[in-house]
Amino acid sequence: MTPSSGTYREHLENHGISVRTDPVLPFFHYDRNGKLVIRVSGYSDLDLFEVYARYGAVQLNLPDLATQRVHQRWAINGAAAKAAHYPEAVQSAYATKANDWYPVVSRVVRAGCHQETSSPSGVAAAQILWERGEISPEQMVICNGYITAPYAGAIHDLRHAGFANTIPVIDKESVLALFRRDHTWRFGIRQRAHLPAQTDTKPHKGVSRFGMDYEELKRVAMMIQRNPGWELVLYHFHLGSQIIDEDNFLGGLLSAATNYCRLRQQVPTLQYLDIGGGAPVQYGLTPLTINLELLLTRFLVSLKDLCTHFDVPCPTVITEWGRFTVAPSELRMMEIRAQYEPGFIQVHDTIMGSLADNWAIKQPFPVLSLAGLDHPTTRGKIVGLTCDEDDCLFTEDDNHVTIARPDRFRTPGSEVLVVANTGAYQSNLGNLEHCMQLQEAVIAAYLHRGQWVFETVRPRQMAKDMLKLFGWPV
Ligand SMILES: Cc1ncc(COP(=O)(O)O)c(C=O)c1O
């Protein structure tokens, strides 16, 4: 580690965070004793040092923060529709793949989101929610992704279980053959869509391979219309994920919405315009500049004009924000090892094993010191326990982070880092077994009657558990 000037508090203040009054990230505050807490209005704070003292440096799942995000989404939808004088509803769906954990999906769906799926397992999950009474008949299960025969089978099973509001989204003409012609179906179709220009920090990903061009889309729409008992109700597109440029986002939305209006002229059953995911999350200390309420308002104003121009009714708009909904609902604690090389902050964990997107697509994550606000800072590269050069936290600051200098005798907890906003995609994609490094325990904290209660989701992995995975006779 390399000492740097000023205290950790000053470092945060240099990022415009007035520690006493501001959250350091959404839901994350330092309280008046300098302890990092999760704060949800109306509830007692969750003291992360207490979690560490009780369970060690764990992965902490916070599914109730996903519910809070759904409430924020309703507020954004409502405010945007009002500001735009949009005559129809703006609804929310949840892209299950962003975080498949049952307590998260169940809460988000019970809070009123439609469920969007990408696989047979996602539909099987919807069936469980249906059988447990956790999804209402008015909510939709929107089946996106590649619809294979097993996926279509799961969709038929959900129908047979009595859930009628299942909307298979057709992304290729050939997929229609998987649906029984003698059943009534309400379908969606997926348009291939891209951002007009790439202005975020990631390299251009090329032409999307998902969905259909307009000509194929129109052909499929007509095939659906011709089959008695089939209806095309939903028009879907998805531009990308973590889109941080507002004009770029808006341009993509409007170009696809124009095609919706053209098709709506010929398909009067179309009533939903599902604009996919893409809402970004703060992955550093500096807040994002995009304003999602304003973006949605601008979109609705322009959509209303487009509908007037094409002389079609305004659709019900659905967003499928996954990352936005669940990113805050998980964090990783990482304990700093006592012995380290100068310039490196070595943690008892593996970065490449537990933060897949950091390793694979250079997605940064915010790192906070658990305690030690008034300690001097230190700067270095966070590295994990595997003997692999790649096991290093990518950051936009030349892979360096600035943290409070750890001194557990002066301030217990200052030897622990919190990697925040890991709730979207990381658990599903990650957990590599490189060097057979053991996974930390997973603990869940739930809000119950105003208090936080804990559950061990998965104990710390033992060497024998790991060896079993590789066929060892243990
Ligand atoms: C069809 C579709 N909808 C929604 C999402 C969720 O995107 P995000 O998590 O960026 O909101 C995805 C993610 O890839 C997707 O493919």
317 and 190 share one domain: yes
Q: Is residue 331 in a domain?
A: no
- Ligand 1 atom showing the smallest separation from residue 98 Cα: 9
Q: What separation in angstroms does the CA of 247 have from each of 148, 163, 295?
A: 36, 39, 8
323 lines ligand 1 (CB under 6 A): yes
* Mutation probe of ligand 1 site: the residue of 69, 76, 92, 97 with most atoms within 8 A of C-beta: 97
pLDDT over 50 at 200, yes or no: no
Instruction: Please report the pLDDT score of residue 3 as a whole number.
Output: 58
Q: Is residue 267 in a domain?
A: yes
Mean of the per-residue pLDDT values of the chain: 93
Residue with tokens 């341009």: 251
Q: Is residue 355 in a domain?
A: yes
Q: Is residue 347 in a domain?
A: yes
SS3 assignment, position 322? coil
83 and 167 share one domain: yes
Instruction: Please report the pLDDT score of residue 198 as a whole number.
Output: 55
Q: Is residue 415 in a domain?
A: yes
Nearest Cα residue to 213 out of 179, 246, 173: 173
162 close to 129: Cβ distance less than 8 angstroms: no
10 and 149 share one domain: no
Beta strand residue intervals within 321-441, DSSP E: 330-335, 344-346, 367-369, 376-383, 401-404, 416-419
Sequence-separated (6 or more) residues with CB below 8 Å from residue 430: 353, 354, 355, 356
17 and 141 share one domain: no
Residues β-bridged to residue 93:
114
CA–CA separation, 417 vs 52, rounded Å? 11
Nearest Cα residue to 330 out of 103, 178, 146: 103
pLDDT digits (tens, 9 = 90+) for 329-375: 999 999 998 766 889 999 998 898 889 999 999 999 999 999 999 99
Residue with tokens 């919706």: 260
Q: Give the total number of structural domains in the chain.
A: 2
pLDDT over 80 at 430, yes or no: no
52 and 83 share one domain: no
In CATH, what number is assigned to the domain containing residue 211?
3.20.20.10
52 and 134 share one domain: no
Mean pLDDT of 424-430: 87
119 lines ligand 1 (CB under 6 A): no
167 and 239 share one domain: yes
Instruction: Please report the pLDDT score of residue 199 as a whole number.
Output: 46
* Mutation probe of ligand 1 site: the residue of 236, 238, 324, 427 with most atoms within 8 A of C-beta: 238
Instruction: Please report the pLDDT score of residue 194 as a whole number.
Output: 81
305 and 202 share one domain: yes
SS3 assignment, position 318? strand
144 lines ligand 1 (CB under 6 A): yes
Distance 94 CA to ligand 1 centre (A): 9
Distance 238 CA to ligand 1 centre (A): 7
73 lines ligand 1 (CB under 6 A): no
Sequence-separated (6 or more) residues with CB below 8 Å from residue 101: 61, 63, 427
344 and 393 share one domain: yes
Q: Is residue 313 in a domain?
A: yes
| Torsion sign over Cα 218, 222, 224, 229 | positive
Instruction: Please report the pLDDT score of residue 2 as a whole number.
Output: 57
Q: What separation in angstroms does the CA of 303 have from each of 137, 239, 290, 372, 437?
A: 28, 17, 20, 50, 51
pTM above 0.85, yes or no: yes
Nearest Cα residue to 254 out of 317, 187, 162: 317
- Ligand 1 atom showing the smallest separation from residue 145 Cα: 1
Instruction: Please report the pLDDT score of residue 204 as a whole number.
Output: 45
Instruction: Please report the pLDDT score of residue 341 as a whole number.
Output: 80
20 and 53 share one domain: yes
Out of 298, 326, 354, a domain closes at: 326
123 and 247 share one domain: yes
190 lines ligand 1 (CB under 6 A): no
Alpha helices in 56-187 (DSSP H): 63-83, 102-110, 120-131, 149-160
Distance 278 CA to ligand 1 centre (A): 6
Residue with tokens 């304990």: 335
* Mutation probe of ligand 1 site: the residue of 115, 234, 320 with most atoms within 8 A of C-beta: 320
Out of 292, 326, 360, a domain closes at: 326
327 lines ligand 1 (CB under 6 A): no
Least confident residue range of 144-153, 317-326, 435-444: 435-444
Mean pLDDT of 198-219: 72
> What's the angle, vertex CA 185, arms to CA 184 and CA 188, rounded to 5?
160
Instruction: Please report the pLDDT score of residue 270 as a whole number.
Output: 98
CA–CA separation, 219 vs 294, rounded Å? 35
Instruction: Please report the pLDDT score of residue 431 as a whole number.
Output: 75
358 and 281 share one domain: no
Nearest Cα residue to 200 out of 276, 278, 258: 278
Residue whose Cα lies nearest atom 12 of ligand 1: it is 277
Instruction: Please report the pLDDT score of residue 201 as a whole number.
Output: 45
pLDDT over 90 at 183, yes or no: no
15 close to 367: Cβ distance less than 8 angstroms: no
321 lines ligand 1 (CB under 6 A): yes
Share of the chain above pLDDT 90, in %: 83
320 lines ligand 1 (CB under 6 A): yes
Instruction: Please report the pLDDT score of residue 210 as a whole number.
Output: 87
In CATH, what number is assigned to the domain containing residue 42?
2.40.37.10
Out of 326, 354, 380, a domain closes at: 326
For the record, the structure tokens of 11 come out as 């470092």
Q: Is residue 428 in a domain?
A: yes
Q: Is residue 113 in a domain?
A: yes
Domain of residue 177 covers 70-326
SS3 assignment, position 429? helix
Alpha helices in 311-418 (DSSP H): 323-326, 351-354, 356-361
Residue whose Cα lies nearest atom 5 of ligand 1: it is 277
